[in-house]
Structure 1
Amino acid sequence: MLTFRTIKSLTQCLSGYRTSGLRIGFVPTMGFLHDGHRALIAESVERCDITVVSIFVNPAQFGPTEDLERYPRALDADHELCRKAGVSMIFLPDASEIYPPGFQTFVEPGPVAGPLCGAVRPGHFRGVATVVTKLFAIVQPDVAFFGQKDFQQCAVIRQMVRDLNLPVEIVTVPTVREPDGLAMSSRNSYLGPTDRKRALCLSRGLLAAQAAFAEGERDSGRLIAIAQSQITAVDQLQYLELRDAQTLEAIHGLVDKPVALCVAAMIGPTRLIDNVLLTPPRTALSDRDLEVVSCAVDRQVNVGGQGSRPS
């Protein structure tokens, strides 16, 4: 496994593999890797000849009062996870490598970035879209892998790839959960024992709505109410909404197409997000980029073999 800190050294190495016709997979991360990242890497290793993982805490996607400085970092552990998972290369740039002096060009996403996290974190997806575009230009991957937990981020990136004609296939991998159902996140490390226990209400609410949907409930208001009845231990519920799984438009009335039930909440000082997909029987997602990876679903991606099957 090779580690590169500069764009020039990485691109020089990758050019040879690209000339040889090898398929390059890419997993962009902010580090503090966990089994959710491991699932993304596993899909890349299975599908591609070369797997590149970037570790870069992107300052452009953090607001002035957010947790950039205290965002968890564990480079030694990240290297070990990548090595054991079969990663070919790690890209570990400094902020000045990605945003050199005089940098002034940003990618401005459209309406898909407006609701949900976009409304709560102004400018966040501008930073995400910009850094992902830059990383795609640097790595030039054939396939890039993202986690379903960051559902709106996936939607923003898919739209950006279509709009800008970027030659990258986007694969969305199902959310990886702890044995008790909590969606894996680097920010879970902020949670003390009491807050960790309270955070379980998020997945319980979403999975209760998912179970009701599987039993035939189709009224959007009732589905949200079922979830909300479980999500009572949070300090602030920022949103709990049903959104079209492709466009992220708000859903009202009966659910007759694939939707995502999305939540964001504050547990103490920690902001957590989660979601589940609700897909009516005999309804296919027309955008193949949104398809969850069938082999990942077959593995019931969770830790310890327990907990709920990812949506």
Structure 2
Amino acid sequence: MISRTVPALAALCLSLTLASAPTATATPVLDPNTPVSSDGRVGSIGKRIAGDPGASDGFAGTGDLSDAEGVRRVARPEPPTVNPDELSTQSVIAPDERVQVTDTTTYPARATVRFTYTKPSGTTSWCTGWLYAADAVATAGHCVYNVSAAAWNTNFTVYPGRNGTSSPYGSCGVSNAYSVAGWIQGGSTEYDYAALKLTCSIGNTTGWFGLNTSAASLNGTTVSTAGYPQDKPSGTQWFTSNTVTSTNARQLAYLLDTIGGQSGSPVYNTGCATYCAVAIHAYGHGTHNRGTRIIPEVHQNLTTWAL
């Protein structure tokens, strides 16, 4: 009897111990399209729009340097910056066909922004972005959320149409930053996109880009981009055009010349009434560069974040 009772008691104690032991709470794995906000919100953020958004037109703005709202915004002095985010591996595909935009008060150059931010390490850097609403800027995810540090960048300051040391439209702060779980949880390059909600509505003056979610292949079509590269004089905007080489489910590859600092630049064409972005530039590969394609899921999130 004893030889049978002791093992039985031992098994019972083991089962009770396992039942009472605390269990670790695992971080839920979210659908990669799930929006995430720097203020801690996850999932539904703002009012969702119904159905396939298709294409949305841009707006050329007034271009009024006296400011359409009647208040001239004075730019903060731009802080010293270091090399842009190291994740931004991009390439100039010889020959370098970038040309400087000498007048950034024209549309769409004035809707293209340079913005500075503080990394989790405390160093300051910059990226490129572009207005797609009066108070919202689209950019690359790695310019907003640092995957390796598992933390958001902070202290964003946005300079529309920056031109060297000149900020013709002043600067705007940022009230919130957004990205998606595919970038924040997985660091997937296919989900490397983000948005910044501004504390001003400067887009009414500068204008903004439309969004194009065409399902057709763009191979062989001409696209353009403009941004703020690290290998050119600080704060200067550079433009180039070339063709799309590959249309993938979530990315476009193209022969546009780019380098660090141009992450987040608009990849756009004239597929709508003004200029419409078809991708958000993010990466390079020596023989081509690539960006996150604006498919309906991306358009849906961008539109929601602008509300």
Question: What TM-score, normalized by structure 2, do the two folds share?
Answer: 0.29
- Between 1 and 2, higher relative CO (CA 8 Å, sep ≥ 6) is seen in 2
More helix per residue: 1
The structure with more radius of gyration:
2
Question: What TM-score, normalized by structure 1, do the two folds share?
Answer: 0.28
